[in-house]
Amino acid sequence: MIAEPTELPGLAAADSLSLLRQHAPLVHCMTNDVVQAFTANTLLAVGAAPAMVIETREALQFSAMADALLVNIGTLTEPRAEAMLAAIASANDAGTPWVLDPVAVGALAFRTEFAMGVLALKPAAIRANASEILALAGQPALGRGVDSADDSRHALPFARRLAADYGTLVAVTGRVDFITDGDRAWSVTDGDAMMTRVTGTGCALSAVVAACCALPGDRLQHAAAACRFMARAGRLTARETAGPGSFAVGFLDRLYALRGEYLQ
């Protein structure tokens, strides 16, 4: 029998945040062209260290040195796909955990083929919206773009199955986030709709999930904590900003100032 998801306890999130600040994981980001700066700034704000390395021979060398690897297919190209495959192989050889963000999978053939192919390459975690999870699970998806038209709760059973089938964690995010290893599942209910008006908040979350996969201890808890960091910073920021421009700025300030007690 499968347990219902329960809200991630604040103390667990605080514990993960403390570990993240202590270890400051170096995250090798192979991500899309649009969100590079915001992803790097998010990692720096939360206490991790970003490095973007993309040429094939460098990527395979670097993923073995980094603490985690992020593979985001938002602006996938042929050379980038080749470099990502090399980096994943090298990360797996070195024991570097890697995280898949399958942006817009299902909508476009090239990236769908790529994403389905790398599922078998043992990602430590997958972070996606509901439409993307449905597409990975072979279900008909509704979205045309990157925002999910489906509800994350509807996608949860498919997320569980993906996690179980591929021995990975799946974070399916939306108005509520669910983070599951197939058996256990945490939910995170913070967040704010303004986050959908700033490009790259989901992509940056995937980078923080990657950073958290490098921490010692319970990886499922840490991945859920990553969702909580971002959601809580988003909710606190939305209260005090007037639009998406100041939201994006305040969000980085909030992440930087995040402390365990804000996560309770």
Is 246 one of the binding residues for a copy of itself (CB under 8 A)?
yes
Name the residue among 127, 136, 221, 140 with its Cα closest to residue 174.
127
The CA distance from 213 to 219, in Å, is: 6
Taking CB under 8 A as the binding criterion, the range among 12-20, 73-81, 166-174, 216-224 that sits at the site for a copy of itself is 73-81
Q: Considering Cα of 73, then 75, then 81, then 85, what sign does the dihedral take?
A: negative
The CA distance from 31 to 69, in Å, is: 10
Is 89 one of the binding residues for a copy of itself (CB under 8 A)?
no
Which residue from 1, 3, 4, 78 is in contact with a copy of itself, where contact means CB under 8 A? 78
CB of 247 to a copy of itself, least distance (A): 8
Find where tokens 């100041």 sit: 246
Q: Taking a C-beta distance cutoff of 8 angstroms, is the pair 136, 105 a contact?
A: yes
- For a copy of itself, the closer CB: 52 or 121: 52
Taking CB under 8 A as the binding criterion, the range among 13-21, 56-64, 115-123, 218-226 that sits at the site for a copy of itself is 56-64
Q: How many CB atoms are closer than 10 A to CB 138?
A: 10
Is 245 one of the binding residues for a copy of itself (CB under 8 A)?
yes
| Spatial CB neighbours of 129, under 8 Å, sequence gap ≥ 6 | 143, 146, 147, 148, 150, 152, 172, 173, 174, 202
Which residue from 13, 14, 50, 127 is in contact with a copy of itself, where contact means CB under 8 A? 50
Is 52 one of the binding residues for a copy of itself (CB under 8 A)?
yes
Is 204 one of the binding residues for a copy of itself (CB under 8 A)?
no
| Spatial CB neighbours of 112, under 8 Å, sequence gap ≥ 6 | 105, 106, 135
CB of 99 to a copy of itself, least distance (A): 18
Binding site for a copy of itself (CB under 8 A): 26, 32-38, 40-41, 44-45, 49-55, 57-58, 61-62, 65-66, 74-79, 104, 107-111, 144-147, 196-200, 241-246, 248-257
